[in-house]
Structure 1
Amino acid sequence: MDKELFNKLASKMGITSVKVLSQAEEYMRLSQVKCTSLGGATATSKAIICLELAATSMKFPLDKEFAIKLSGLNKKVYQSSLKSMECMLGLQCSVGIRELAVQYGCMDAVKVASQILERYEASLPAAQQQDLDLSKPLFTTAALFTACKCMKIRADRKLAASSGAKKGIFDRLCSQLQKFGQEICSAAPSVKAPLKTQKKRQKTLTETLQEREEDDGLPTSPKQQREQQQLRDDDAEEEAKQNYEEWKRKILENALRAKADDS
């Protein structure tokens, strides 16, 4: 992007400080080298992001909502691109796994990613553990990316790029972390086993109750209920008929007895 257009964008955003503009230009220059893998962002949106990053670092007041509108991106894509460029340019040295997961929509992998980093740290010599900062984007991003891969969660393609590291370095670290992720994920089913057993036991109990209902002659379906009701109606009708015949017989017997007494 030429300097004249860059200055026009800065003017629209209300950036008048020469220091902020100079810092933004430096970020723009670095982004052309370090942020080549950043997808979804245009040259204009990258320039605006660089201007916002420079303004934020120098505490220069800025209308961020207008910056998003000026970039031509929707808010979600803009924020994602901004965070990615922060990491790639080394401006944000501590990015939590949870924050990354929220940004890239893979919250289910947070717990496994944290466990991967813990096991990775424990596997290192004590001297190396002291010199290593696992909160850096390279490690948090690689752990989350590896967790998603092991859990078969589809991760945003920009997640790997947000580490700010070269692809070769990132891939090598992911290969080291993968064995820990596979160990954690392979152990996960044993944790869920009691829940599955409980569900199976509950199903068996339900089936047992249904069998008892059937053994007791209780209908378990609308069709069976109708058939049972029909049988009851038929029995009642037969009983009423028998009662009538018995009543009729007694009336005739009484009548004949009375006639015999009169004669």
Structure 2
Amino acid sequence: MATSKTLLLLANKLGIAEEGKLLSKAAELERLLQMKLTAGNNLTDTSRIVICLDLAATIYGADLDHKTAIKYSGLKGPTYTSSKKMVENLLELNNDKLTVSSLCLNFQCNGVKGLAENILQDIQKTTKMELDMTLPQYACMAVYQACRINKIKLPKSKMVEKSRLKLGQWSKLEAEWAKIIDEKFAVVMKRGRPAKVKVVDDEKAMDIDTSPKKEIVIERKVESYEDWKRRMLEQAYKELEVLENERKIKKSVTRLSIHEESLRRSPRKTPIKSPQKTPQKFSPYKGPRKDGVIRLVFPKDF
């Protein structure tokens, strides 16, 4: 894996430039950290690389001066400690190491454990680059390929999530491994069950009971016409009596409801209209008389 110039320079200042595996691990952690960090983080490129070198040194047990790391990271002591803890949580370095056994146990596919371990060893021998097989993506891919060979379905999304890779990176790694694995591990015994054949012994076949079966005679009791007639009439009378009782109950309920409704209503009072008097028309000069003669009320001016 190619390492950046900044990483090599900082590793030289920290005194761990000669550790090849450690530098590769730090570069791998730094690449994973770039994918998981959000835009609002306060880590600079230098502080991020120093923290990754510190974590890689812890994994491989290399000596690294903590004060020197804080100095070159450009952070204060408490800030460096909290940032390192944050990076550990993002990269899930505090969790237990992901192995083939734990994956098989988690996905309930213990039958492919041996094949997955063989695939992991063969890939490590075949590839020209030096790979860190402790990284989770390799264990996940080995188990996934072993299940593919044995035609066992696994949830691919969960496997990609545990590998800590993006889907594109997973697809690229899957294509690379599939070419190598199909050449060496593709021959697998097909599992199947033989068809069940029912065998009948000759002796048992000869012991078949050929005696005629006895007919079962069922005697039916015939009811006389008079009994049937009496029974049907009694049943009809009972049904009529039930219907009559129901009708009476409904009628009484209806009467009761009508009576209650009439009690709720108040008597309507019709207002008595007073007779209207026809207005009489009077003239200021004329007044009515009984004999039909018009009488002047006011004298005229002559």
* Greater RCO (CA < 8 Å, at least 6 residues apart): 1
- Same-fold call, TM cutoff 0.5: no
More helix as a share of residues? 1
TM-score range, shorter chain: 0.3 to 0.5
Structure showing greater radius of gyration is 2
